[in-house]
Chains A and B, each alone.
Chain A
Amino acid sequence: GAVVSQHPSWVICKSGTSVKIECRSLDFQATTMFWYRQFPKQSLMLMATSNEGSKATYEQGVEKDKFLINHASLTLSTLTVTSAHPEDSSFYICSAPRGAGYEQYFGPGTRLTVT
């Protein structure tokens, strides 16, 4: 089945630094990938849609200068959290659609802790 990997699985960083998270589709090409944020005991909040070869589309309220997305190839999208603050601490998950119904295949997620 479709597999999506995500790296790193967890990261701790200091306030003010930047963190890059990678999302890869391992056995299929994904022209579109999605980045979600999930707070404890809450649902998935779509942050942005990553489009290969073009600019990402950000959801309302998501700062594009803070959450930089790059989709440089058909199998890789990256999310960079710039100038991280403790309130950016969260679980970040990427997904890629595939299949007849475009069901989404999720990466294992990245737990970010900003101290």
Chain B
Amino acid sequence: GQQVMQIPQYQHVQEGEDFTTYCNSSTTLSNIQWYKQRPGGHPVFLIQLVKSGEVKKQKRLTFQFGEAKKNSSLHITATQTTDVGTYFCAGPGSGAGSYQLTFGKGTKLSVIP
């Protein structure tokens, strides 16, 4: 089935530093979604990218979708302790006509104050 690879698995940054997580697929994705899971919490939808080369911003977060629609990235500028958590990318699942998602393994972000 379709797989979505995500790197790095862990990232420790000093508060104020930038952070980036990358997501790659071997096949073209119709769209990609990003989720954040706080420690002890559940995943929360952040954004969906659909268009080739699309860039979307949410305050300090910048999301990009590659031109070939096979990769995506999430960049956080000047991290804060509130950014701590695991960030997952997710592409469409293999189930035909379904709303399934295939999640990457996630990048766990730790922010050192």
| A residues 99-115 touching B (CB-CB < 8 Å) | 101-109
- The residue that A109 contacts in the complex, of B42, B48, B102, with Cβ under 8 A, is B42
A62 to B45, CA, bound (A): 26
A108 touches B41 (CB 8 A): yes
| Contact status of A105 and B45, CB under 8 A, knowing A32-B98, A41-B108, A44-B88 | yes
Task: Verify if A49 is at the interface (C-beta below 8 Å from B).
Answer: yes
B45 touches A107 (CB 8 A): no
Chain B residue at smallest Cβ distance from A51: B98
Q: In the assembled complex, which residues on chain B have CB atoms less than 8 Å from the CB atom of A32?
A: 98-99
**What class of interface size applies to chain A in its complex with B?**
20 to 34
Task: Verify if B105 is at the interface (C-beta below 8 Å from A).
Answer: yes
Task: Verify if A54 is at the interface (C-beta below 8 Å from B).
Answer: no
Q: B61 to chain A: closest CB distance in Å?
A: 16
Interface residues of B (CB under 8 A from A): 31, 33, 35, 41-45, 48, 50, 88, 93, 95, 98-106, 108
Known: A42-B105, A108-B42. 19 other contacts (CB 8 A): A32-B99, A34-B99, A41-B108, A43-B103, A43-B105, A43-B106, A44-B43, A44-B103, A46-B93, A93-B42, A101-B31, A101-B33, A101-B50, A102-B99, A104-B45, A106-B42, A106-B44, A107-B42, A109-B42
